[in-house]
């Protein structure tokens, strides 16, 4: 099994409800923050402009999150990111949220590599070879 990328996030008060529990929608933000940190750790960008002026990015195709235990204000949440599927045009990542030994939530997000040429129309494209190779380093192939 591939080693996940690990980052942490301390829960801020504005991310909670009146009871001090993280509002469920923030887990999607946490996934995105962890995804950006993961890309940066590989020397990659989530959004940028290519030398020819073409803009690229990774719009979301789908995202899910299942909740097991609440996270609260001031908790330090460990977020584990694992690449579970990579094609020439898409990336699927799994997320595991933990506070110590407690599993708080699990999530999954599928993104598509897209470009926005000068005509302004978003279109799916093959990701550059550098992205494909680097994102494959953390690919969970199901083996040991």
Per-residue pLDDT tens digits for 54-79: 999 999 999 999 999 999 999 999 99
pLDDT, tens digit (0-9, with 9 covering 90-100), for 13-48: 999 999 999 999 999 999 999 999 999 999 999 999
Within a domain: 17? yes
Within a domain: 139? no
Within a domain: 127? no
How many structural domains are present in the chain? 1
Within a domain: 135? no
What are the backbone dihedrals phi and psi of residue 91, each rounded to the nearest 5 degrees, phi first?
Answer: -140, 130
Within a domain: 137? no
For 122-125, which contacts have Cβ atoms below 8 Å and span 24 or more sequence positions? 122/59, 124/89, 125/56, 125/89
Is residue 33 helix, strand or coil?
helix
Residue 137: which pLDDT band, with cuts at 50, 70 and 90? confident
Whole-structure pTM value:
0.92
Residue 144: which pLDDT band, with cuts at 50, 70 and 90? very low
Domain extent, residue 102, equals 5-47+63-111
Q: What is the CATH number of the domain that holds 95?
A: 3.10.129.10
Within a domain: 94? yes
């Amino acid at each position: 099994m591939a080693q996940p990328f690990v980052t942490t996030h301390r829960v801020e008060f504005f991310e909670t409800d009146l009871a001090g529990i993280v509002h469920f929608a923030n887990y999607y933000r946490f996934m995105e923050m962890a995804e950006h940190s993961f890309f940066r750790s590989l020397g990659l960008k989530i959004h940028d402009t290519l030398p020819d002026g073409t803009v690229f990015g990774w719009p979301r195709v789908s995202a899910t999150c299942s909740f097991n235990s609440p996270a609260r204000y001031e908790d330090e949440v460990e977020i584990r990111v694992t690449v579970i599927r990579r094609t020439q045009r898409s990336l699927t990542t799994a997320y595991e949220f933990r506070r110590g030994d407690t599993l708080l939530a699990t999530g999954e997000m599928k993104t598509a590599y897209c470009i926005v040429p000068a005509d302004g129309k978003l279109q799916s494209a093959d990701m550059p070879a550098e992205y494909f190779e680097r994102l494959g380093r953390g690919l969970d192939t199901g083996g040991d």
